[in-house]
């Protein structure tokens, strides 16, 4: 499920040293199993800040990866479903949860294929999942409970990849794209600026990012 960028050029370096196959699919199992994969392991700062005062409820972590956010939420009392297309990532998340005594429902499935009910989740995370949040905006909005929270972070595609021509990677979000996709929600926070990128190991770890926190 996690379709974050494999390579950045110039000031943005690779987030994982793995080649892109001819099919265009990122080999996430290889990345999570590689000691050089540069996979983030700590909970997202945006998730920490945005959920600090929330009463625990039901959460869906789309593109869960190794479970860094899902496990954090579970330990705070949330009932968490975490999904990812990488078997290696799922196994790491399950192992990490077991080690810390956390309960998470980890599933190897794409969000597009996930059967999801209306008003099912109090919280949905879309952290570095390419442009999935825009493509699946209606499904995400439907899945949120009234007053439910959506948290999104990824690269700002227009700024981060403007110099990659003629074929920039299809990753991240265009300018104001998230605002348009989720204009039915109440926007609590929107950022479009250079910041610490969890999937970047560039010279100073910074990259043009887009962050969205919105409430149904």
* Burial annotation 136-152 (CB, 10 A radius, 16+ → b, else e): bbeebbebbbeebbbbb
Q: CATH number of 28-215: 3.40.50.150, 3.40.309.10, 1.10.10.10, 3.40.50.300?
A: 3.40.50.150
pLDDT in tens, the chain (216 residues): 433 333 332 333 233 322 333 334 568 888 888 877 678 889 999 999 999 999 999 999 999 999 999 999 999 999 999 999 999 999 999 999 999 999 999 999 999 999 999 999 999 999 999 899 999 999 999 999 999 999 999 999 887 655 555 455 557 899 999 999 999 999 999 999 888 878 765 556 778 899 999 999
Q: What is the pLDDT of residues 138-152, one digit of tens each?
A: 999 999 999 999 999
The tokens for 25 are 């699919």
Which residues are paired to 106 by β-bridges?
82
Helix orientation angle between 68-75 and 87-100, rounded to the nearest 10 degrees: 30
Cis bond upstream, residue 146 (ω within 30): no
Structure confidence by residue, pLDDT tens digits, 160-178? 655 555 455 557 899 999 9
pLDDT score at 33: 87
DSSP category for residue 40: -
Share of the chain above pLDDT 70, in %: 80
Q: Which pLDDT score is estimated for 160? A: 60
- Residue 184 confidence (pLDDT): 96
d(CA 97, CA 100): 5
For strands 206-215 and 186-196, give the pairing: antiparallel
**Domain ranges (residues) in the chain:** 28-215
Q: Is 67 in contact with 125 (CB distance < 8 Å)?
A: no
Instruction: Return the pLDDT at 27.
Output: 82
Q: Would you call 22 exposed, middle or buried from its count of C-beta atoms within 10 A (0-12, 13-18, 19+)?
A: exposed
pLDDT at 1: 42
Per the CB < 8 A criterion, the answer to whether 26 and 65 are in contact is no
Instruction: Specify the DSSP element, H or E, that contains 31.
Output: helix 28-33
Residue 142's contacts (CB-CB under 8 Å, 6 or more residues apart) are 116, 118, 119
List C-alpha distances in Å: 41 to 29, 125, 175: 16, 16, 28
Q: Which residues pair with 149 in a beta bridge?
A: 123, 215
């Amino acid at each position: 499920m996690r379709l974050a960028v494999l390579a950045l050029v110039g000031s943005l370096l690779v987030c994982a040293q793995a080649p892109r196959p001819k099919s265009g699919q990122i080999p996430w199992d290889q990345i999570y199993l590689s000691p050089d994969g540069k996979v983030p392991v700590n909970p997202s700062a945006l998730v920490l800040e945005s959920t600090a005062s929330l009463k625990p409820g039901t959460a869906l972590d789309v593109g869960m990866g190794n479970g860094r956010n899902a496990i954090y939420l579970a330990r705070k009392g949330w009932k968490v479903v975490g999904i990812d297309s990488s078997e290696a990532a799922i196994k790491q998340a399950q192992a990490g949860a077991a080690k810390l005594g956390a309960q998470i429902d980890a599933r190897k499935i794409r969000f597009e294929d996930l059967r999801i009910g209306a008003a099912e989740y109090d919280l949905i995370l879309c952290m570095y999942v390419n442009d999935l949040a825009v493509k699946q905006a209606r499904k995400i909005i439907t899945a949120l409970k009234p007053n439910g929270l959506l948290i999104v972070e990824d690269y700002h595609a227009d700024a981060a990849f403007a110099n990659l021509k003629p074929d920039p990677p299809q990753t991240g979000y265009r300018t104001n794209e998230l605002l348009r996709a989720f204009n039915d929600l109440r926007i609590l926070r929107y950022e479009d600026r250079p910041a610490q990128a969890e999937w970047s190991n560039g010279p100073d770890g910074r990259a043009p990012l887009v962050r969205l926190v919105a409430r149904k």
